[in-house]
Amino acid sequence: MRVAFIGGGNMGEAIIRAVVEAGVARHGDIAVSDIMEKRRSYLAERYGVLAATDNKQATWEAEVVVLAVKPDSLAEVMQGLNGCLEAGQLVLSIVAGVPIERICSGLGHKAVVRAMPNMPAQVGEGVAVWTASEQVNDEQRQRAQSILSAMGKEMFVSDERYIDMATAVSGSGPAYVFLVIESLIDGAVHIGLPRDLARDAVLQTVIGSARMVERTAKHPAELRNLVTSPGGTTAEGLLQLEEGGLRALLTEAIIAAYEKARMLQQ
């Protein structure tokens, strides 16, 4: 598969790394264009991809064009590429908060996939929720699926509104999880555990707990009850969390992030 990347930032690099390691695209079939020459050179040297001098050059002969730029740069990028793409080329946009309709209009192009990958994609453990315009054919869907699944788990949705919801959950969610991890580590250090031991213990606890939810298919509340003995240490800790409003705060954080995502589109 021949892939062009418009933008070579952290997420663009994550996708490049993933598709190369998964064998979805070969080094020589990937071209990248970035406003920073230093960044283009780094990606070319690190991954053996082709460094394009401009966006139009990068898209030549590409089967998939990945838009991986910041939202405030998108208008200029689309203006430069408007009318330059062939009908058979697929545009895969990971630009946050920009709906398919706006991308189609800005590029003068109809075959567009919009995806929301998250930060853990950088280590191959991400989740990407995506949708497609009506003009995207089955072959193009398979190409998009191959690219996105190389970063972790991909989830197709027919309703584009779910992309904004995913932004609030899987997009922003890692930050919430990182905060919980940080707090657990700090608590462990406070009671006397060495920081390196606290870090390892907390990380494995979080990973193991997520695996249990995934593999047992049990409701998290059921698993939580299995850990919680009446009058025990876990029950005392959970009481503090409930009195502190952790459950409500996490729910409110998801709602607030979703409302912010919707506002940014307007």
pTM value surpassing 0.85: yes
Residue 265 has pLDDT above 80, yes or no: no
pLDDT tier for residue 97 given thresholds of 50, 70 and 90: confident
| pLDDT value, residue 171 | 92
pLDDT tier for residue 263 given thresholds of 50, 70 and 90: confident
- 79 by Cβ neighbours in 10 Å (0-12 / 13-18 / 19+) ranks as exposed
Query: Could you tell me if residue 97 is left (phi over 0), alpha (psi between -120 and 50 degrees) or otherwise beta?
Result: left
Calculate mean pLDDT across residues 196-216: 98
- 215 by Cβ neighbours in 10 Å (0-12 / 13-18 / 19+) ranks as exposed
Task: Give the pairing type, strands 112-116 and 126-132.
Answer: antiparallel
Polymer length of the chain: 266
| pLDDT value, residue 154 | 97
- 169 by Cβ neighbours in 10 Å (0-12 / 13-18 / 19+) ranks as middle
Residue 248 has pLDDT above 90, yes or no: yes
User: Rounded to whole angstroms, how far apart are CA atoms 109 and 119?
Assistant: 28
| pLDDT value, residue 203 | 98
Tell me the per-residue pLDDT of 77-93, one tens digit each, with 9 for 90 and over. 999 999 899 999 999 99
pLDDT tier for residue 19 given thresholds of 50, 70 and 90: very high
Q: Are 184 and 207 in contact (CB under 8 A)?
A: no
Tell me the per-residue pLDDT of 209-227, one tens digit each, with 9 for 90 and over. 999 999 999 999 999 999 9
pLDDT tier for residue 180 given thresholds of 50, 70 and 90: very high
Query: Could you tell me if residue 35 is left (phi over 0), alpha (psi between -120 and 50 degrees) or otherwise beta?
Result: alpha
- Domains in the chain, ordered, with CATH? 3-160 (3.40.50.720), 173-265 (1.10.3730.10)
Residue 135 has pLDDT above 90, yes or no: yes
| pLDDT value, residue 134 | 95
Calculate mean pLDDT across residues 146-170: 95
Calculate mean pLDDT across residues 1-25: 95
Tell me the per-residue pLDDT of 32-51, one tens digit each, with 9 for 90 and over. 999 999 999 999 999 999 99
pLDDT tier for residue 186 given thresholds of 50, 70 and 90: very high
Angle formed at CA 170 by CA 167 and CA 176, multiple of 5 degrees: 105
Residue 262 has pLDDT above 90, yes or no: no
- Both tokens of 241, joined, read 């969390």
- Both tokens of 10, joined, read 């952290």
Sheet containing strand 126-132, edge to edge, reads 50-51, 30-33, 3-6, 64-67, 90-93, 112-116, 126-132, 152-156
